[in-house]
Structure 1
Amino acid sequence: MATIDEYRRHIQNLLIEHAKLVWDERIQAQTIFDTERDHYQLVYVGWRGSKRMYGTVLHLDIINDKIWVQQDGTEVGVANQLVELGVPKQDIVLGFDPPKMRHYTDFAVG
């Protein structure tokens, strides 16, 4: 069984890797790691001309020893990447799915 420290490392490494994928030098990828409360985010911040660009691309929390994917704006799916790193599906909750629908996935319900 993996430890919470391993989960923290996996999450941080994934967010750092996704931050490197920003294709526009006008957009800054900010990783936010609150290891005390186990909140982790990747946020895009910047401007394209006069248009403000801001948004949370990834938001993961660790709650009750499970990784909660609260927001996932990636194509590959961060939950799938976590599974590839050895995190059991029963330790991953797709928090962006309605609670009534979670039992239809292969992941934890909460």
Structure 2
Amino acid sequence: MDTITHDREIVKQVICEYAQLRPSHGEIRLDTVFDEKQEHYALMQVGWDRGRRVRGNLIYIVLREGKVVIEYDGMEAGITQDLMEKGIPENRIILGFLEESNAGWAMI
């Protein structure tokens, strides 16, 4: 299996595992969004909690130039360790939401 296919399957697997979790309150569903053409992967939350609308990203990952770029990680423990435990090397994971991890990283 080539690197991009390997990374794609791991990212999708980790996001699907998080999608099985249920929020502790409110009527909130977790939706996976997988765009394999552009290599964008997300976990969205949508619903209602205490009379207020809840919506937005919980996880947003982009596969680019042989790297797994975590653009947003709203999970309590973070997903980096999950990705590494499933086989993505730490040196190919970029924390896109931290400025210092982007040193020298060309944005496309």
Paired residue for 2:81? 80
Structure 1 runs (4+) deviating above 4 angstroms are: none
**Structure-1-length-normalised TM-score:** 0.85
Paired residue for 2:101? 102
**Structure-2-length-normalised TM-score:** 0.86
Paired residue for 2:27? 26
Provide the aligned C-alpha RMSD in A.
2.1
- Structure 2, unaligned stretches of length 5 or more? none
Native 8 Å contact 1:69 1:92 kept in 2: yes
- Structure 1, unaligned stretches of length 5 or more? none
Instruction: Give the secondary structure class of the aligned counterpart of 1:5.
Output: helix
Paired residue for 2:13? 13
Sequence identity percentage: 32
Paired residue for 1:4? 4
Counterpart CA distance in 1 for 2:94 and 2:46 is 27
Q: Choose between structure 1 and 2 for higher RCO, CA contacts under 8 A separated by at least 6 residues.
A: 2
